[in-house]
Every structure is written in structure tokens, then in C-alpha cells.
Amino acid sequence: MAQAAALYREVLARDPGHAGSLRLLGVIAAQAGDLEAAIGLFQRSLARTPDQPAALLNLGAALSRQGRAVEAEGCFRRALAVQPGLAEAHLALARVLQDQGRGVEAETCFRQGLALRSADVMGWLGLGNLLAGQGRAAEAAACFRTALALRPDCAGAHLNLGLLLLGVGRVDEAAACCRQAVADDPGLAAAHNGLGAAALVQGRLAEAAASLERALTLQPAFAEAHNNLGGVLQASGRPVEAAGQYRAALALRPDYALAHENLGMTLLALGDYVEGFCEYEWRQRGPAPPCPPWDGGDPDGRTLLLVAEQGLGDTLQFIRFAPLVRARGARVIVACQPELVRLLGSLPVLDRVVALGEPWPAADAWAALLSLPRLLGTTLATVPAEVPYLAPSPGEAAAWAARLAGGPGLKVGLVWAGNPYPNLPKGQAVDRRRSVALRQFAPLAGVPGVTWVSLQKGAAAAEAEAPPPGLSLLDPMAGVADFADTAALVAGLDLVIGVDTAVIHLAGALARPVWVLSRFDACWRWLSGRDTSPWYPTLRLFRQPAPGAWQPVIERVAAALTLLAGGRSP
């Protein structure tokens, strides 16, 4: 390059306006990172010969690298005015339009460019990224696969396909793609980060940590890798170190919403409810109602709409704050999951309950249920923990109690699996660590004096057809249509035992004794290092001693249940 630059300067010494030498010297300056010099040389070249498509493309690319998208767009359009069939100009224009958020125009330009030059690997990658950003996963995957058919060793295409598959929950395929990206380009930090993210979802924590640490060695200022490493540390039961990684990610990208959310949950697990709930406000939510958000000010005489979000358990846990809002003089409407409408509709403090997805009811302001602790200034010491705050229909509860009356001894409900979140990688990662197979409860079969009752719904409910030998399991769930039915059933039980699911929250809200089998990296709401909960006085936690170690947990539960069934304190 130095020799080439010297030769171009010789030409320019003899002919200061030589357009070709000015342009090529500008290319060398751009490659060296001196964009100001490059732009000046391209402009001088175009002053001599204004209709050079190559110089217009070079100038547009340099301007784009400086973030001057509108000027870059003008250059690419001038090039196309001169040479309409110039594929490179269509593709360059597509990228600058994409950077401006003009997706429809960008897609048109990508497709025009690829129609002219169908073997352009980077063009297919660009179109794939655009479509992925629009949620068009199948079309994006087809673009990445086309790029790989053209260049099988393209690390970027393997990586992008892997990240796309990870985003739609196809984790094993995603891991294979990211692994191939690392093989194609071992120095590509993003590929190591993608492989680490996939390994985290798979529960392969040591592999995930190694990949993410390699990504950070290659690229220390890599916010996503810091965030993912925080997830690994959190899953490994190291919340203080996890918080450090999330803060490192935020130091690099202050508006990184996922890192804020993760930091919030980690701080909540550590008992810091003030900063924790503030950070947790960055979480992703669904559509907002057409009224202003409530800022926590005096709601007396106003109608507040409280909107459920996330899982059923979250709604059951946080509906406890509705009476506090009502006590401040507000009229309270709740929009919740359809399965909870009938149960929550029985709460006298609520003026109305509607299902999410129905038209929004009229209200003066709205708040997400999980934002109420922050808005109401809740701390660990002031969690409203009076139970029960939910109640079943007396008639329905009596009917279920009659059905269960024939069983001997303690009536114990059992739930062993949560929502597997097939299309949500983060949810998959959690569910892999929290759910167990029914066969793993075999140690409970030896506890005398217990009538076992399945509370399991979903695909895992089929396991009730073949329980562990000796564990006779009643399965009444075919007669359970919603959580009002479940509440009536649970009210007739002496104890509920289960993994961290919505039924656990329901039992706690009904003030029924409940034992939770908690994964090693327990959900933030169970805090760290304790076997009781500030949220539910009747709840007891049985924590894993190490990631994935369910056997000792179930053996401890069996021992405690043996004492309880024998009339002794467990």
C-alpha cells in the first residue's frame, strides 16, 4: 500500500487533477482509517469527473462509516442514476437505508442488487439480517443458508444463522452453527459469544463460561459477552459476580435493556429491592393500554388499570398489591391472563377483571403489576405478606374436598414441571434447570400415610400415567379448567410440593403449606441462602446443593414428609 500510494502521488505531482489517482489514493486512506483524508480525495476526484460510479461508491462508503447516512444515500443514488444496473450501488444503498430504519426501501434495494448479482454473499447476509430484525425468521434463515451455499466457510453466515435459531428456541442447531463459525474464524469474538449463549441455554455452564471468556479476551469491550457471562455466573449460584458482569455490560452500553433487567433480578435475589426494582423496569413488556402510565402519585378518585405480564405465577404473586392501590382511593381494574379471570374476579377489592387480549377498558392511568413494588416504595422489610389474599369458591372447594375425602392420611399435591417455553431461549434455559421428571420422585413412594394428588398441567401431565412404583397418584386435572378450579382443589390439600411454578404461588396465596424444590440458582423472589420467603409465610424452600442436583433435594423432602406424616414437626 505504501508503494502504491507513492506511485499515485508521483502521478498527482505531474497531474494534480488526475481523477483515478485521487480516487485510489482515497481508497488507501480509507483502508488506513483516515476517513477525512479519504473523503477529501474522493471529492477532488469527483470534481474532476463528476459521474464516476466507483468514486461515488467510495465516497458513500466513507460517509456511511462516519455516520453521515443522508449524504451517503445521495452518493449511492447518484451512482445509480449514472449506472442503473450497478449491483454494488443497490446493495450499498440498501445498507444505508437499513441503518436509517427504512426497512421496506432497504429490502427492495437488497433484492434489486441480488437480482443483478445473485452470488453476493454479503448481500445475502445483509438481507438476512434485515429480515431477522423484522421477525421474519424463516426468510432470514433462507438468506443465510443461501450465503452458506455460496461460501460454506463463511463464519458470519454460520453465526447469524446460529443466533437466529437460538432466538426461536432451536438451541441444539444454534450451538452447531456457532461452533462451525468458531471453526471457520477462531478470532471472531461474536462467534465465541454466540456459542457461549447457546451453551448457557443448554445448561453446559463450564463450556459457556469458557466460550464467553474467550470472546472477552478477543474483544474486552463486548457488552453482550459480559451480559451472557453474568447469566452463567447467576446460573452457577454466584450472584455478586453476576452483578459485576451486568454492570460491566452497562458501562459499555448504558441503554442495554437486557443487562439492566438481568441486573435488576440479581439485585432482587440479593435483597436490594430499591435498586433492584428500578433496574427491573427495563424489562420487555407487551402492548401498553391507551392511557398514561401511573407515576405513583395520589390515585384517589381515579381509575387505575393494573396489567398482568410474564407468567401466571407473577400475576398470582403481585396481585397482592392491588388492595394497597385500592386503599389509596383508586378504582381498580385488572387485565390478566384468561386462566386467572374467574379467580381474580372474586376479589372484592377489584372493580373489574378482564382478560388480556380483550379491548382495553377505560382508565385514567395504568401500571404493570410487577412495577407496583417500585411505585409503592416496597422494600424487603415491607413486603405485604398477609395471607390468604386469594380464596376459592366455598362451594367448589367443598366439592373437591368431598372427592378427596376417601384418600388416607395426608393429602399432598405434586407438581414437577413448568412451562418449557419452546420458542423462548431464556425461558428454556430456566425451565431446564427448574423442572424434573416424575420418575425422580421415587424416594417419596416410601413415605407412608400419604395420598398423592397430581396438580400437573401441560405436556408433562402425561407422566402421571406412569408414576414411580409405589407412588399411587390421583390425577383429577382433567376436571380443572382454570385457576379457580385449581384453587378449589388446592384448598382441600394438606400440603403442596413442587418445583417453582404458578401452582406454588397459588398455594402460598391461599395460605396452604407449600414446599418448593428450588434450583441452585433460585428465582430472584426466593432470595439467597434462606429456606423461608418474605412473600409467603407458609412456604418452605428445599434448595439444590449444586446445579442439577435434584436427588439430595428429593431425599430431604422425603425425610421431612415422613416426619410430617407421622405427626411430628419436619
pLDDT surpasses 90 at 184: yes
Q: What is the pLDDT of residues 496-520, one digit of tens each?
A: 999 999 999 999 999 999 999 999 9
- Three-state DSSP class for residue 543: strand
Is 303-382 the same fold as 1-118? no
Q: Over 80: is that where the pLDDT of 423 sits?
A: no
Quick one: pLDDT band at residue 112, thresholds 50, 70, 90?
very high
SS3 content of the chain, % helix, strand, coil (to 5): 60, 10, 35
Pick the CATH number of 1-118 from 3.40.50.300, 3.30.70.20, 1.10.357.10, 1.25.40.10: 1.25.40.10
Residue 248 predicted with pLDDT over 90? yes
pLDDT of residue 172: 94
Q: Answer whether residue 379 shows pLDDT above 90.
A: yes
pLDDT tens figures, 222-235 = 999 999 999 999 99
- pLDDT surpasses 80 at 460: yes
pTM: 0.88
* Structure confidence at residue 550 (pLDDT): 96
pLDDT at position 505 is: 98
User: Over the stretch 57-67, which tens digit does the pLDDT of each residue have?
Assistant: 999 999 999 99
d(CA 307, CA 296): 15
State yes or no: pLDDT of 179 exceeds 90: yes
Across the range 265-285, mean pLDDT stands at 95
CB half-sphere exposure, 29, CA atoms < 13 A: 21
| Phi, psi for 567 (deg, rounded to 5) | 85, 15
Residues 403-414: pLDDT tens digits?
Answer: 998 888 999 999
- What number does CATH give the domain 394-565? 3.40.50.2000
Q: Measure Cα distances from 22 to 26, 44, 101 in Å.
A: 6, 7, 33
Q: At a CB cut-off of 8 Å and minimum separation 6, what does 561 contact? A: 410, 412, 444, 447, 450, 495, 497, 570
Rounded CA-CA distance 36/225 in Å is: 32
Residue 300's pLDDT is: 96
Q: What is the pLDDT of residue 430?
A: 86
* Cβ atoms of 37 and 62 closer than 8 Å: no
pLDDT score recorded for residue 420: 86
- Does residue 252 contact residue 259 with C-beta atoms inside 8 Å? no
All structural domains of the chain with their residue ranges:
1-118, 303-382, 394-565
3-state secondary structure 449-490: CEEEEECCCCHHHHHHHCCCCCCCEECCHHHCCCHHHHHHHH
When pLDDT is cut at 50, 70 and 90, the band that residue 487 belongs to is very high
CATH (residue range 303-382): 3.40.50
| Block residue for cell numbers 402425561 | 462
Mean pLDDT of the chain: 95
Position 424 pLDDT exceeds 90: no
Q: What are phi and psi of 456, to 5 degrees?
A: -85, 135
Contact 182, 190 (CB under 8 A): no
Joined grid coordinates for residue 390: 386469594
Would you state the pLDDT for residue 210? 98
What is the predicted pLDDT for the residue at 426?
77
SS3 at position 97: helix
Q: What is the pLDDT of residue 399?
A: 95
Cα 108 from chain centroid (whole Å): 31
At residue 427, the pLDDT reads: 83
What integer is the mean pLDDT of 378-397? 96
Q: E strands along 57-120, which residues?
A: none
